[in-house]
Amino acid sequence: MERDYIFTLEIAVRDYELDSEGIVNNAIYLHYLEHTRHMFCAQAGYSFSQMEADGFMPVVNRIEVDYKTPLRSGDIMLSKLWVETRGVRFIFHQDIFNKKTGALAINAIVSIVSIENGRLGRGEQLVKAFAKYL
């Protein structure tokens, strides 16, 4: 079920993120997606560095990305997300749009699990921290 976005981050393309074809390299979008998740967590009051200090290590378990319209030099993007839980996984639905044209640049589904003391955890503290967004 589609849900409304709960967080939007504006990010400007940096020229070193382009590859020799003049478009943002495919791997760089994963950086944008991660940065967006981390900024969301910080805004939600539970920063990634705090998680690490608390003994949680959120790790990416699976990622699916559809590349739609390439971003280029000078572009500004709106990176949006919503999140749900499925069992022990946090499923982030993340879409990135070209701010100027409104075109969808990529859509992505990112599955995160919580490693606690070296083992797969239930992420209960995370569920509590993000309760109002789930």
Q: State how far the Cα of 98 lies from the Cα of 106, in Å rounded to an integer.
A: 10
Which DSSP letter does residue 23 get? B
Among 3, 5, 31, 76, binds a second copy (CB under 8 A): 31
Site string for a second copy, 47-86 (x = CB under 8 A): xxx--x----x-xxxxxxxxx--x-xxx------------
Listing DSSP states for 26-82 in one string gives TTHHHHHHHHHHHHHHHHTT--HHHHHHTTEEEEEEEEEEEE-S--BTT-EEEEEEE
- Report how many residues bind a second copy under the rule CB under 8 A: 39
126 binds a second copy (CB under 8 A): no
Q: Name the site residues for a second copy (rule: CB under 8 A).
A: 12, 14-16, 18-23, 25-28, 30-31, 34-35, 38-39, 42, 47-49, 52, 57, 59-67, 70, 72-74
